[in-house]
Chains A and B, each alone.
Chain A
Amino acid sequence: MYYGWIKKIKVVVKMVENETEIAEIKTIKDFVKDGRIDDAVNIVALYLNDSTEEDYIDRLENIIETLLSLHGGRTVLRFLLENLIIDIPSLLENLSKKDSVLRYTFLLLLKTICENECDLFLPYSEDLLKSDDPNVREADLQLIIYMAGGSAKFDDPSLIKTIIAKLSDEKDFVVEKAIQALTTIGRKSPSLVTKILTEYVKETVDISENNELKGSIDTVMKSIVTVEKIEEIVEEEKSKLEKPPEDSVSEEIPSSDLEKEEFEMLDKEYELKKKGLEIKKKKLELEEKEKEIEEKVIQTKEEVLKLKEEILIRETIISEESDGKEKSQKVKIPKKLKKEEADIIDKELELKKKDIEIKKKKLEIEEKEKELEEKEILEREKALKIKEILIEKEKELSLVELELKQKSLKQKEQKIKDEEIKRVGEELQRQLKEEEDET
């Protein structure tokens, strides 16, 4: 009996709680429908703040449910994410505890936000990939797929490396998502992904034994490297070598002096790159020469060894025959041998000299390289300084613009005030006149 009453009371309490919750959700819905996004966001924030540890996930689910069904739900969600009322890591962790339908439907809701505003998610991506929860890793990879499918171009090697590491994840569904993510990123940056993947393959020791990993890498590579893409990859590599970076070209600078300075900077950078290429060419040439010389040295050493062997054979023959022959003959043969030996020693000395010369040249080249690198660093520092100055000037300009705008606004205000004072004065005068006329 007593137990029954407690049950009934619990049911009533639950009903009351549910009713208040329903009221809050209703107001959120009404605000969104009326376009009062800020108010809706505030109420969501309050609603989530009121939650206890036990019912936070349920409340979050209620919010997600509500936003899923509303026309302006995405906008509210964007606001909630921007204002950190819902933060991405805890959102994904909480979603992991919920059923897959809710989790994936909600991820789908984030698709357009990911495509257009990847800055909201990108900072968390790498850390979330290292989460212990496979559902979080999977969800994060899905967000990366959405982001890569949007306007953003992924050129962060560290993130790509972390995604590649997920190709050997313990969960198959995470591996599948990693493949999809790399494929999507690879569509826009084929050379970067192929480069990092090949490096990863080189670094991974037991790749030949891991068939699943090999298969995953194969799938990614096959989907990135098509006949058309090969051309793109080669062209991209070429353009990287030939052209200066795009971002420095595309920046617009207001004054002509600044433009000149920037062009000069670009020229210098271009020259530096040319020099770098020349040095690389020279290095390669030297390496080839070194190899040739080494081969020659090996050949001469072999010849010397052969000669020594012959001498030894002859010596043994002579010593065997010496018992039966005359003493004068014995003296003549060692003289010839001594001459040959002296020749060999001379050749060896020459070779050593050549070696030393090569080493000297190498050292000189290295010194030159270092000098060039130092010059490069100095040039870059200069360029950075110029950039900083430019940014400061831009800031100053924008400040001046703002001040000007403020001034013009003030002037307008003043004008309006003056006109209003005039109008009021005239009105008063008119009324006074009317009163005078009446009297």
Chain B
Amino acid sequence: MPLTPDDILKFLDNESETKFKSELLDLLRKRIDNLCLDECERDRIQCTLTPLCSRRFLLKLRIKNNLKYEDLPKFCYSVHKGVIERFFRNKTVIYRPYDAFLYLIDFLDVFFHGDYRKLNKFISFKNWDDSFKIFDDRINNRNEKFDYLLTDNYLLFKFEDRIHVIFLDELYVLCNANRENIPDLELLQGVCKLYSGIYFPEVKLKQRQSQHVEITVKVPYDVLNEVSPEHPIENDSKVDHYFWNTFWEDLNSLTQYCDEIHLQMDKNQNLEISLLLSTETKNYDEGENPVPLRFRDLKLILDFINRIYQDYFVLWVDKENKSGG
């Protein structure tokens, strides 16, 4: 029977002789270097169209470990940057560059070409006033559509439906965040805040005991009043259709990503839905460790909030205001 990857992992976990481990890892390192710096780049067409590692994940390995540009396969990185730029400009790409890492200056070159040198300087020295001036000028005067939010360690951007995260200490950027894990609560709260500011400003958002982020959205009493007390058989209204069919399915699917979900009636008989989020999900891997929350999981949660807010909260509050006026 041939050697399997599991055998190697077990060996690395259990072997007491560190020399053997380091020898084994050195073999792996040499293989990776040879693959990246020689085999793949030798034929540029192959490196561009069919790179020898899936979606250039070996670049991520280097960038996330703070290796410098000099230590990267240069042509591969240039193609990687090109793919991100093409995807940003909605042009044809060979693969969608989700969870792609770039150095800060290259990210700024792609997304803020023209101001990228200035921005690189400002962001590197955390000169936020000048940085925000440039961003606001682009939004207000140059017809560019994006939103941004600064936290202690991250600067978040949202272009259309895509999230990009600048890691301010490391000076690299996660572009088109999707399957990547959310590393800490600060970033989790940051993304929630960014979405909340754009889509559901009246939804409550707070941090609880430095472990959870709580999002609370209300379904007004008037909406609940519209829902039939029994399951409608024919000609169900939109409200009926949603609350009798989809709502519970949505909540059920969210239970795997939220630590807790609370449903309660407030004093005005509105339904309060509170979701408690952390950086871990309720799913477990083979080693029975909780699976980390990913950006795409958070997106599902935020989409749910957005739906409730847009379809039932804003509409009914507006209605109330109009009838009251």
Contacts and interface: CB of A to CB of B under 8 A. Distances in A.
A104 B79 CA distance: 11
A291 interface: no
Given A107-B45, A108-B49, A101 B86 contact: yes
B83 A101 contact: yes
Given A104-B45, A107-B45, A172-B42, A65 B142 contact: no
Contacts of B45: 104, 107, 138, 142, 177
Interface stretch (B90-98, B151-159, B280-288, B309-317): B90-98
Contact of B44 (A65, A69, A108, A173): A173
A386 to B, nearest CB: 48
A15 B141 CA distance: 13
Interface string A4-21: 100110010001000000
B40 to A, nearest CB: 12
Contact of A11 (B75, B93, B142): B142
Given A100-B79, A101-B48, A180-B43, A4 B141 contact: yes
A232 to B, nearest CB: 27
B42 A101 contact: no
A2 B85 CA distance: 32
Contacts of A4: 141
A100 B141 contact: no
B85 to A, nearest CB: 7
Contact of A99 (B85, B141, B143): B85
A11 to B, nearest CB: 5
A344 B79 CA distance: 85
Residue with the greatest number of chain B CB neighbours at <10 A, chosen from A102, A105, A107:
A105
A159 to B, nearest CB: 20
A176 B43 CA distance: 6
Contacts of A68: 92
Contacts of A102: 86, 91
B42 A176 contact: yes
Contacts of A104: 44-45, 48-49
Interface string B66-84: 0000000001001100110
Interface residues of A, number: 23
A231 B140 CA distance: 74
Contacts of B42: 172-173, 176
A4 B92 CA distance: 34
Interface in B44-76: 44-45, 48-49, 75
Chain A CB within 10 Å — which of B49, B83, B85 has the most?
Answer: B49
A220 to B, nearest CB: 15
A105 B141 CA distance: 35
Nearest to A174: B44
A108 B94 CA distance: 12
Contacts of B48: 100-101, 104
A68 B94 CA distance: 11
A15 B144 CA distance: 12
A194 B5 CA distance: 44
B308 to A, nearest CB: 35
Interface in A91-114: 99-102, 104-105, 107-108
Nearest to B43: A176
- By CB atoms of chain A within 10 A, which of B79, B82, B92 has the most? B92
B302 to A, nearest CB: 31
Nearest to B81: A99
A418 to B, nearest CB: 59
A4 B82 CA distance: 31
Interface in A1-58: 4, 7-8, 11, 15
Interface in A158-184: 172-173, 176-177, 180
A173 B38 CA distance: 11
B43 A105 contact: no
Nearest to A139: B45
Interface in A339-358: none
A65 B91 contact: yes
B285 to A, nearest CB: 35
A173 B82 contact: no
B134 to A, nearest CB: 13
A101 B79 contact: yes
B44 A100 contact: yes
Interface string A50-84: 00000000000000010011000000000000000
Given A138-B44, A176-B42, A180-B43, A101 B141 contact: no
Nearest to A62: B91
B231 to A, nearest CB: 45
B49 A173 contact: no
B245 to A, nearest CB: 37
Nearest to B47: A100
Contacts of A172: 42
A101 B142 contact: no
Contacts of A101: 48, 79, 82-83, 86, 93-94
Contacts of A180: 43
B86 A173 contact: no
Contacts of B92: 65, 68-69, 105
Contacts of B85: 99
A108 B49 CA distance: 9
Interface string A134-153: 00001000100000000000
Query: 4 tightest A-B contacts by CB?
Result: A99-B82, A104-B48, A173-B44, A101-B82
Given A105-B49, A173-B44, 17 more contacts: A4-B141, A7-B141, A11-B142, A11-B143, A15-B143, A65-B92, A100-B48, A101-B86, A104-B44, A104-B45, A104-B49, A138-B44, A176-B42, A176-B43, A176-B44, A177-B43, A177-B45
14 contacts: A11-B142, A15-B143, A99-B85, A100-B44, A100-B48, A100-B78, A101-B86, A101-B94, A104-B48, A105-B94, A138-B44, A173-B44, A176-B42, A180-B43
